[in-house]
Structure 1
Amino acid sequence: MNFADMLGYADIAQLSRIADVYQCECNGHSKNELIQSILSKVGSREVFEAQVGSMRLEDLRFINSLLFDKRELFSLEELIARVQSSKLQDDEAAAVSRIAETKRPHADSVPKNRRKGKAQPVPESGPREIISRFKQQGWLFNGISGPERYLFQIPKDLKVKFRDTLRRRFRESLVYAGEPSVYRDEQELLGEDVHALLSYVRHHEVPLTRDGYMHRRTVMQIMESFGVQEEPPAKAAFRFGYGRRFREYPERFSLVYDYCFYNKWLVEDEDVLVLSERGTEALLDRRAATAEQLYRFWLRLYKGAVPNLLSLAHWIDDLADRWVTADSLRAVLLPFIKPYYYDTADSVIDKRILMMLLHLGMLRIGEDEKLGTVVRMTKLGSAVVAGVHVEHQDVLHVEAGGGTIL
Structure 2
Amino acid sequence: MRLSECLNHASISTLQAIAQNLQLSCTMYSKLDLVQSILESLRNPLSLAEQLDQWHEEWGVSLRRIALHRRNVFAKEEIEHLLASAGHDTVNGLQKALAQGWLFLQNDSSRRRYYIVPKDIQMALRDDFQRRWRAQVRVRTDDPLVQVDEGMAALHDLHTLLQYVQQREVRLTASGAMYKRHVQQLMELFEVEESIELPQWRFGYGRRTYDYPDRLALLYDFAYDEGIVIERQDERLTVDPARLSDFLTLGRKTQLRRLLQFYVRTYRRPIPRLYDIMETIRLLADVWTSNTSLYAICAPQIQAFYYDQPTDVWDQRVVKMLVHLGVARIGYDDDSGERWFQITKLGQELLTQDEADLPDELTYQQAALVVQPNFEIVVMVPDARMEAQIAEFAELKSSGALRVYRILDRTVERGLSLGRDFEAWRALLATRGMAPIPVNVDRMLAEWVGRGGVQAAGLGS
TM-score where L is the length of structure 2: 0.72
The count of corresponding residues between Structure 1 and Structure 2 is 364
Report what 1:308 is aligned to: 273
Equivalent residue, structure 2, for 1:130: 93
User: 1:195, 1:283 within 8 Å by CA — same for their partners in 2?
Assistant: no
The worse-fitting range, judged by mean Cα deviation, of 283-292 and 368-377 is 283-292
* SS of equivalent residue, structure 2 residue 319: helix
Matched-pair contact (CA < 8 Å) for 2:276–2:301: no
The answer to whether the Cα contact below 8 Å between 1:75 and 1:152 also exists between their aligned partners in 2 is yes
Cross-structure match for 1:389: 357
Of the candidates 206, 217, 225, which is equivalent to residue 170 of structure 2? Answer: 206
Residues 30 and 83 (structure 1), Cα distance of their counterparts in 2 relative to 1, 3 Å cut = closer
Superposition map of 1:145-164 within 5 A: 146-147=109-110, 150-164=113-127
Q: Go from structure 1 to structure 2 and tell me whether the alpha carbon gap of 1:235 and 1:365 turns closer, same or farther (over 3 Å shift).
A: closer
What one-letter code is carried by the residue in structure 1 that aligns with 2:345?
K
Partner of 1:274: 238
- Match of 1:93? none
Determine the structure 1 residue equivalent to 2:80: 80
Report which structure shows greater RCO (CA 8 Å, sep ≥6). 1
Correspondence for 2:105? 142
Q: Which residue of 2 aligns with 1:399?
A: 436
Q: Which of 249, 256, 259 is the equivalent residue of 1:294?
A: 259
Equivalent AA in structure 1 for residue 65 of structure 2 = S
> What's the CA shift for 1:379?
0.8
Structure 1: stretches of 5+ with no match in the other structure: 88-123
Between the aligned partners of 1:168 and 1:297, the Cα distance in structure 2 is 31
Q: Provide the C-alpha distance between the structure 2 equivalents of 1:341 and 1:58, rounded to a whole number of angstroms.
A: 31
Residue equivalent to 2:452: none
Contact 1:67 1:159 in 2 (8 A): yes
Give, in angstroms, the shift of residue 401 of structure 1: 8.5
Please state if 1:326 is matched with 2:291: yes
Please give the alpha-carbon distance, in whole angstroms, between the structure 2 residues aligned to 1:242 and 1:274.
23
1:4-403 residue pairs with structure 2 within 5 A?
Answer: 4-55=4-55, 59-83=59-83, 86=85, 125-144=88-107, 146-147=109-110, 150-177=113-140, 178-232=142-196, 234-237=198-201, 239-270=202-233, 271-278=235-242, 280-281=244-245, 285=249, 287=251, 290-368=255-333, 369-370=335-336, 372-387=338-353, 388-392=356-360, 398-399=435-436
The CA RMSD over aligned residues, in Å, is 2.7
Shift in alpha-carbon separation, 1:201–1:145, aligned structure 2, 3 A? closer
Task: Specify the code of the residue in structure 2 equivalent to 1:375.
Answer: F
SS in 1 for 2:189: coil
- Counterpart of 1:399 in structure 2: which amino acid? P
Maintained 8 Å contact 1:69/1:392: no
Displacement of 1:372 in angstroms is: 1.1
Question: For 1:280 and 1:400, how far apart are their aligned partners in 2?
Answer: 25
Q: Which amino acid aligns with 1:174?
A: V
- Partner letter of residue 357 of structure 1? L
Task: Tell me the distance in 2 between the aligned counterparts of 1:356 and 1:57.
Answer: 33
Counterpart residue identity of residue 45, structure 1 = P
- The one-letter code matched in structure 1 to 2:24 is C
Task: Report which stretch shifted further, 301-310 or 260-269.
Answer: 301-310
Which string of whole-angstrom CA distances, capped at 9 and with x for unpartnered residues, describes residues 78-100 of structure 1?
A: 3234456x57xxxxxxxxxxxxx
Distance 1:329 1:317 in 2: 11
TM-score, normalised relative to structure 1:
0.81
Tell me by how many angstroms 1:283 deviates. Answer: 8.0
Listed one character per residue, the Cα deviations across residues 214-259 of structure 1 (whole Å, up to 9, x for unaligned) are 223321221111111112353422x222210112211111110001
1:230 partner SS: coil
List runs of 5+ in structure 2 lacking aligned partners.
Answer: 365-430, 440-461
**Aligned with 1:246: secondary structure?**
coil
Deviation, 1:72, is: 4.5
Q: How far has the Cα of 1:281 moved from its partner?
A: 2.5
CA drift of 1:127 comes to 4.2
Supply the AA of the counterpart residue of 2:215: R
Q: CA deviation at 1:370?
A: 4.2
1:292–1:128 distance in 2 versus 1, CA, 3 Å? farther
Q: Distance in 2 between matches of 1:222 and 1:321?
A: 34
CA distance in 2, matches of 1:233, 1:16: 65
3-state DSSP of counterpart to 1:39? helix
Q: CA deviation at 1:350?
A: 2.0
Q: In 1, are the aligned partners of 2:203 and 2:435 still within 8 Å (CA)?
A: no
Q: Deviations over 1:336-390 (max 9, x none)?
A: 2233333333222222222111111010100044471001111111011111222
- Deviation for aligned residue 1:141: 1.0
- AA paired with 2:206? G
* C-alpha displacement of 1:322: 0.6
- For the residue of structure 2 that corresponds to 1:139, the secondary structure is coil
Partner residue of 2:451?
A: none
Code of the residue aligned with 2:88 in structure 1: it is S
In 1, the alpha carbon distance for the partners of 2:16 and 2:221 equals: 54
Given that residues 233 and 248 in structure 1 are in contact (C-alpha distance below 8 angstroms), is that contact kept between their aligned partners in structure 2?
no
Per mean C-alpha deviation after superposition, the further-off stretch among 281-290 and 68-77 is 281-290
Paired residue secondary structure (1:159): helix
Aligned equivalents of 2:259 and 2:218: distance in 1? 9
Whole-angstrom distance in 1 between the partners of 2:219 and 2:112? 44
Which AA in structure 2 matches 1:353?
Answer: V
Following superposition, the deviation at residue 168 of structure 1 comes to 0.2
Distance (whole Å) between structure 2 residues aligned to residue 53 and residue 346 of structure 1: 30
* 1:15-74 Cα distance to aligned partner (Å, 9 max, x none): 122123323333433333332332233223344334333446893333333334444432
- Which protein shows a greater Rg? 2
Give percent identity, aligned residues only.
Answer: 31
Distance (whole Å) between structure 1 residues aligned to residue 242 and residue 103 of structure 2? 46
Q: Secondary structure at the match of 1:224?
A: helix
Amino acid at match of 1:385: L
Separation in 2 of the partners of 1:58 and 1:36?
A: 26
| DSSP 3-state at the match of 2:139 | coil
